[in-house]
Amino acid sequence: MSNSSHHVPAIVIGRLPLYLRALTQLSSEGRRVTSSQELSEKLGFSSAQIRKDLSYFGEFGKQGTGYEIEYLEKSLREILQVHHLWDMVLVGAGDLGHALANYDGFESRGFRIVAVFDANPSKIGKQMAEWQVQPMEELDKTLRERNVNVAIIAVPAGAAQAVADELVEGGVRALLNYAPTTLSVPPKVKVYHIDPVAGLQSMTYYL
């Protein structure tokens, strides 16, 4: 099994968390074995596509018996490197930041917020979930002291690029961007954009 991603298409990496989520759900139901056909019905990808995606990383299933859920789930966690907790910072203490800080699904899936930052003086020092909002002046020190590689950006679009620059300068290599704008970052930094309005607009095309 390999987690080397230089030869694996990005679209395949993007589907692996969906497979992991489905396996975790099956495991919670007490299931021990599944098949590419069952995963296909749950996720909407063809069984052939699922088998091909997994084959990039090794042989996981047996002809006629399917996949052992516990083993495949453990393997996918290792491939995605979420078999341990990743510390991350949240920049933005507005309404969206509050919702993210209170979301309890991060830690069970490999991520832990360790600090929250904002540039608005009226928000600094306020309690947000279990964190006290820190000023942006403390961002770089926190990133380096805690060796943080992952950050969530939940600031207005006009501030997002400057925040991204500061995070990258502090050593962050993975950004989850909720600001409705495209970020410019070095090739070594991965950015995943989440824009709910863009998602809605793409759906209304079909209505």
The pLDDT tens digits for 30-65 are 999 999 999 999 999 999 999 999 999 988 877 667
User: pTM of this prediction?
Assistant: 0.85
Can you give the pLDDT at residue 73?
Answer: 96
Q: Look up residue 66 and give its DSSP letter.
A: E
Domains of the chain: 10-79 (1.10.10.10), 86-199 (3.40.50.720)
Query: Between 47-55 and 36-43, two packed helices, what is the crossing angle to 10 degrees?
Result: 110
Can you give the pLDDT at residue 1?
Answer: 47
For 9-56, the DSSP string reads -HHHHHHHHHHHHHHHHHHHTT--EE-HHHHHHHHSS-HHHHHHHHHT
- Ranges of residues in the chain with a pLDDT under 50 are 1-5
Q: Could you identify the residue written with the tokens 């070594």?
A: 188
Can you give the pLDDT at residue 6?
Answer: 56
Task: Provide CB contacts within 8 A for 71, sequence distance 6+.
Answer: 60
Can you give the pLDDT at residue 2?
Answer: 46
